[in-house]
């Protein structure tokens, strides 16, 4: 027992999390006693400090800092023998691991755990909205539920799940043995459960969960009960996680590509994550700043947002949206990359307008920083900001349109294989265009003012985030499932999952456009009698939507345990990750391959993307059947 | 499958060396990107400063909350000279002058700690608190976050100094990054102070 408390792991993590709490208690009470306040036990302050110390002490206990502390203490560092690479049993996924493939799966499973809880919250408040009047929960709980729903979905699902998929796929795709900073990669993953658990734990705080929405507008969030601190602190951890991952991706993409892989021979998933990481590094510090200001106001009594003391509440919205608008691109650009891979491989054609696809990503990055105030058309900001922001918001539809038409051009006269990932990709395209069109409608200032804070807005962002981003996530997970697990998913269940989700999704969110236009306000627990019929329909559809996720979970769990063994390259794709075994060897490659051509030359006779050294005989038995025998119009994989 | 992948693993027992597709050192580049994100964190607080002072037109600072410009000026000089000694230490290392290397690091530590000490003493003697006005909140936040960065820099440099006295690092190409990268961070902290000092004390 004593030994297990000294070595990294869950016992030491539990011990140190407890020590973190004691430390926070002693610090707050001790400082006040030392400053002649006497012995005061004020739980608000103690919990605020504990929200910093407990996660950090937990991260030490689980073992995120061990190697670094070894270095800091001045002892000679052990050369890294990479003995912790790979996962040999399910228990290895619960340890600190520096292998990007293990971290990728840790990311995906953890984020889907929070996704399920966030979805459950949505169904609870949809149950409340089934009928007018108050039935199950009070208004404060309702506010807490929709706030936690948004916080979980955005900060610990949508943003990090893309980091998880890219973590797994990108180093393989680029021909790199691992990410540039494997230990930082592990640390960024372990920040996430800290953030997610903080959002959930806020329900236990006195006064209930944070109830100010995910936007946490000041001064409401300044005056909210203690649960708000859980939100602000959780965002700091999630933000630190995404900044660290973005730095890791940028360094990996720029300095670790295989020989011959110029930027113009890089798969579009690499481009998409390059663009996303630029956004994260530049924008995420702004939400950290906004939440620091809230924390300073709440914990240190500062007055950033107290107008009587010269504070400025509109400033909060500017700082917040300067991150949170680019954040919607952080939540969809990696999806664009996934869709490009899938459509090209399943339509057996090169990506149409490859360079334009890359340039349009960069255009979105640049324009994404110039549209934030369209969230503030009803805020008391300067009037002259509105029209330029309306113009840039409409302009950003142009690079997005370039991408949509390029995907259509890719499919034009292709040999389309309607496998599950492809169906999700097609579903994404239709739904995202609908969400994009209502986005252009919302860019128009008078229309936006009319429907501000109604269900029309809710419908819009669920079409882009659920019908858009989440569909790309499902597409990506089905597409790379054989590579990640070494087994095939069940094609029939995959298609059932798609059609139930697709229909229930539209039944849930399409009517919200109508009730929104009629003026039903969002974020309110009760509503007028006239909306009753539609709301009952929406609520029932949302339960079907929730149930459709069970098909996905069953398919994933069942296929991972006992699906048919996957070949190395079931889709006959050209990118490098498909040229190694499924699942890939522990160090990805024996020797880094040389890239000699474009990644999407499907249907071009004799086209090669990567060339591997002649494999050893044993390897050939396992992985050698991939690149040499791939034919371009190959049969769909057995499922 | 398990057996196959285990046999597989044995034949892939070594980690291949990643191709260097750019000439820049990976750790150095990572620090550059980290500094970019740090600049944006400061920028978010400068946005608060801008909105309160320029857009709202609040007086800077409010009546009775004057800032000690000359003390801060002298303190700035101390911080800027620590950038010079840091550079001296790195040049000493690159030219295999261990004495200059170690002296430079120790001087940097002393100057940096002095800056931090003076800053804390300034907080104590200002005569107003962060809660007294929005301007005071901005002042304490910007200088406080900068001070936190100085403190982190001092911890990292103290580690480097300790290892320097143990004989680590060398003039070879791959053995000076452990000094150069913390040095880059230290220069960033100094340059950021130019903006903090100018906008809070001078303008």
pLDDT digits (tens, 9 = 90+) for A404-419: 999 999 999 999 999 9
Chain A residue with Cα closest to B31: A247
Mean pLDDT of all residues in A529-540:
96
* Count of CB atoms situated within 10 Å of the CB of A424: 29
pLDDT at B6 over 80: no
Percentage of chain B with pLDDT > 90?
A: 76
What's the pLDDT score for residue A16? Answer: 95
pLDDT digits (tens, 9 = 90+) for A110-127: 999 999 999 999 999 999
pLDDT at A629 over 60: no
* CA distance, residue A286 to nearest chain B CA (Å): 5
* % helix, strand, coil for chain B, step of 5: 75, 0, 25
- The reply to whether residue B16 touches residue A616, judged by beta carbons under 8 angstroms, is no
pLDDT digits (tens, 9 = 90+) for A24-42: 999 999 999 998 888 888 8
All CATH 1.20.210.10 domain ranges in chain A, comma separated: 89-258+269-331, 333-566
Provide the CATH number for the domain around residue B152: 1.20.120.80
Asked, for residue B149, whether it belongs to a domain, the answer is yes
pLDDT at A627 over 70: no
pLDDT at A552 over 90: yes
Say which residues have a Cβ less than 8 Å from residue A614's Cβ, sequence separation at least 6. Answer: none
pLDDT at B2 over 50: no
pLDDT digits (tens, 9 = 90+) for A171-219: 999 999 999 999 999 999 999 999 999 999 999 999 899 999 999 998 9
What's the pLDDT score for residue B174? Answer: 82
Percentage of chain A with pLDDT > 70?
A: 94
Asked, for residue B178, whether it belongs to a domain, the answer is yes
Give the up-direction half-sphere exposure of residue A620: CA atoms within 13 A in the CB hemisphere.
7
- Whose tokens are 């190694």? That residue is A580
Q: Which of A301, A311, A585 sits opposite B8 (nearest CB)?
A: A585
pLDDT digits (tens, 9 = 90+) for B64-116: 888 999 999 999 999 999 999 999 999 999 999 999 999 999 999 999 999 99
pLDDT at A628 over 70: no
Residues on chain A touching B135 (C-beta within 8 angstroms): 310
pLDDT at A3 over 90: no
What's the pLDDT score for residue A86? Answer: 80
pLDDT digits (tens, 9 = 90+) for A150-171: 999 999 999 999 999 999 999 9
- The reply to whether residue A310 touches residue B62, judged by beta carbons under 8 angstroms, is yes
Asked, for residue B193, whether it belongs to a domain, the answer is yes
What's the pLDDT score for residue A82? Answer: 67
Q: How many helices (H) and strands (E) does chain B have?
A: 6, 0
Where is pLDDT greater, at A323 or A70? A323
Sequence length of chain B is 203
Average pLDDT, chain A: 91
Average pLDDT, chain B: 90
Question: Which residue of B1, B12, B23, B124 to mutate against A (max A Cβ within 10 Å)?
Answer: B12
What's the pLDDT score for residue A639? Answer: 37
* CA distance, residue B83 to nearest chain A CA (Å): 22
Alpha carbon of A525 to those of A126, A141, A146: distances in Å?
Answer: 10, 9, 10
pLDDT digits (tens, 9 = 90+) for A323-336: 999 999 999 999 99
CATH number assigned to the domain covering A89-258+269-331: 1.20.210.10
pLDDT digits (tens, 9 = 90+) for A274-294: 999 999 999 999 999 999 999
Asked, for residue B140, whether it belongs to a domain, the answer is yes
Residue among A92, A20, A96, A22 at smallest CA distance from A56: A20
Question: Which residue of B28, B133, B134 to mutate against A (max A Cβ within 10 Å)?
Answer: B134
Class of CATH domain A333-566: mainly alpha
- The reply to whether residue B166 touches residue A486, judged by beta carbons under 8 angstroms, is no
Chain B residue with Cα closest to A284: B37
ipTM of this predicted complex? 0.92
* CA distance, residue B187 to nearest chain A CA (Å): 20
pLDDT at B8 over 70: no
* Count of CB atoms situated within 10 Å of the CB of A199: 30
pLDDT at A440 over 90: yes
Q: Which of B19, B132, B163 sits opposite A258 (nearest CB)?
A: B19
- The reply to whether residue B11 touches residue A255, judged by beta carbons under 8 angstroms, is no
Residue among A221, A216, A210, A274 at smallest CA distance from A245: A274
Asked, for residue B183, whether it belongs to a domain, the answer is yes
Residues on chain B touching A310 (C-beta within 8 angstroms): 52, 56, 58, 62, 133-135
* CA distance, residue A592 to nearest chain B CA (Å): 7
For A259-263, which contacts have Cβ atoms below 8 Å and span 24 or more sequence positions? A259/A175, A259/A592, A259/A594, A259/A595, A259/B19, A259/B21, A260/A594, A260/A595, A260/A596, A261/A174, A261/A175, A261/A595, A261/B21, A263/A358
Residues on chain A touching B21 (C-beta within 8 angstroms): 254-259, 261
pLDDT digits (tens, 9 = 90+) for A75-109: 766 666 666 778 888 888 999 999 999 999 999 99
pLDDT at A446 over 90: yes
* Count of CB atoms situated within 10 Å of the CB of B115: 25
Domain that holds residue B169: 25-202
User: What is the number of domains present in chain B?
Assistant: 1
* Rounded CA separation A464/A143 (Å): 23
Mean pLDDT of all residues in A356-374:
95
């Amino acid at each position: 027992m004593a030994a297990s408390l000294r070595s990294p792991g869950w016992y030491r993590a539990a011990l140190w999390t407890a020590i973190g709490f004691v430390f926070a208690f002693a610090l707050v009470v001790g400082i006040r006693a030392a400053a002649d306040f006497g012995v005061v036990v004020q739980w608000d302050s103690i919990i605020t400090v504990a929200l910093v110390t407990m996660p950090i002490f937990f991260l030490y206990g689980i073992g995120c800092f061990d190697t670094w502390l070894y270095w800091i203490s001045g002892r000679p560092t052990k050369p890294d023998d990479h003995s912790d690479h790979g996962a040999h049993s399910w228990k290895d996924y619960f340890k600190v691991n520096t292998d990007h493939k293990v971290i990728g799966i840790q990311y995906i499973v953890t984020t889907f755990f929070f996704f399920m809880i966030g979805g459950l919250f949505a169904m609870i408040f949809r149950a409340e909205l089934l009928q007018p009047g108050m039935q199950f929960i009070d208004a404060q709980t309702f506010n807490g539920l929709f706030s936690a729903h948004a916080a979980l979905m955005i900060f610990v699902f949508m943003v990090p799940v893309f980091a998880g998929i890219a973590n797994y796929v990108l180093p393989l795709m680029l021909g790199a043995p691992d990410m540039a900073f494997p230990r930082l990669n592990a640390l960024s993953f372990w920040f996430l459960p800290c953030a997610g658990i903080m959002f959930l734990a806020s329900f236990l705080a006195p006064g209930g969960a944070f109830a100010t929405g995910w936007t946490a507008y000041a001064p409401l969030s300044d005056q909210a009960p203690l649960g708000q601190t859980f939100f602000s602190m959780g965002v700091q951890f999630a933000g630190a996680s995404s900044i660290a991952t973005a730095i890791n991706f940028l360094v990996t993409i720029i300095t670790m590509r295989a020989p011959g892989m110029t930027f113009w021979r890089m798969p579009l998933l690499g481009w998409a994550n390059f663009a996303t990481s630029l956004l994260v590094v530049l924008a995420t510090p702004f939400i950290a700043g906004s939440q620091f200001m809230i924390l300073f106001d709440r914990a240190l009594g500062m007055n950033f947002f107290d107008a009587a003391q010269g504070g400025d509440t509109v400033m909060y919205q500017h700082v917040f949206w300067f991150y949170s608008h680019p954040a919607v691109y952080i939540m969809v650009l990696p999806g664009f990359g996934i869709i490009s891979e899938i459509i090209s491989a399943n339509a057996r054609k090169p990506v149409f307008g490859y360079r334009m696809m890359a340039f349009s990503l960069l255009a979105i990055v640049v324009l994404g920083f110039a549209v934030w105030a369209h969230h503030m058309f009803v805020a008391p900001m300067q009037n002259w900001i509105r029209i330029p922001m309306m113009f840039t918001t409409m302009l950003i539809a142009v690079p997005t349109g370039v991408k949509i038409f390029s995907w259509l051009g890719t499919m034009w006269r292709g040999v389309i294989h309607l496998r599950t990932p492809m169906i999700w990709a097609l579903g994404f395209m239709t739904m995202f265009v609908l969400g994009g069109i209502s986005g252009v409608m919302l860019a128009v200032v008078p229309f936006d003012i009319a429907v501000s804070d109604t269900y029309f807005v809710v419908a819009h962002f669920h079409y882009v985030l659920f019908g858009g981003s989440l569909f790309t996530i499902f597409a990506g997970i089905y597409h790379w499932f054989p590579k990640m697990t070494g087994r095939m998913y069940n094609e029939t269940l995959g298609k059932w999952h798609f059609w139930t989700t697709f229909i229930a999704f539209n039944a849930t969110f399409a009517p919200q456009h109508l009730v929104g236009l009629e003026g039903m306000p969002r974020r309110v627990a009760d509503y007028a009698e006239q909306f009753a019929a539609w709301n009952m329909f929406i609520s029932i559809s949302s339960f079907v939507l929730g149930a459709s996720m069970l098909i996905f979970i069953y398919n994933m769990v069942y296929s991972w345990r006992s699906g048919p063994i996957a070949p190395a390259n079931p889709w006959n794709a050209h990118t490098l990750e498909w040229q190694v075994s499924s699942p890939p060897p522990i160090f990805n490659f024996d020797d880094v391959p040389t890239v000699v051509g474009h990644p999407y030359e499907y249907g071009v006779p004799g086209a090669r993307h990567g060339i591997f050294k002649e494999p050893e005989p044993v390897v050939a038995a396992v992985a050698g059947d991939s690149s040499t025998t791939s034919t371009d119009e190959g049969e769909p994989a057995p499922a | 499958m398990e057996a196959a992948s285990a046999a597989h693993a044995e034949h892939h027992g070594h980690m291949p060396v990643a191709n260097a597709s750019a000439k820049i050192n990976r750790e150095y580049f990572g620090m550059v990107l980290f500094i970019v994100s740090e600049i944006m964190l400061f920028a978010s607080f400068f946005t608060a400063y801008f909105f309160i002072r320029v857009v709202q037109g609040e007086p800077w600072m409010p009546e009775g909350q004057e800032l000690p410009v000359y003390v801060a000026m002298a303190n700035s000089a101390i911080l800027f000279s620590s950038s010079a000694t840091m550079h001296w230490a790195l040049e000493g290392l690159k030219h295999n002058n261990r004495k200059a290397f170690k002296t430079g690091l120790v001087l940097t530590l002393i100057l940096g700690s002095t800056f931090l000490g003076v800053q804390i003493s300034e907080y104590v003697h200002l005569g107003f608190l962060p809660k007294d006005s929005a301007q005071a909140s901005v002042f304490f936040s910007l200088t406080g976050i900068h001070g936190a960065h100085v403190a982190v820099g001092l911890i990292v440099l103290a580690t480097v100094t300790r290892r320097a006295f143990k004989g680590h690092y060398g003039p070879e190409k791959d053995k000076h990054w452990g000094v150069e990268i913390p040095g880059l961070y230290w220069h960033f902290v100094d340059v950021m102070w130019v903006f903090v000092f100018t906008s809070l004390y001078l303008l």
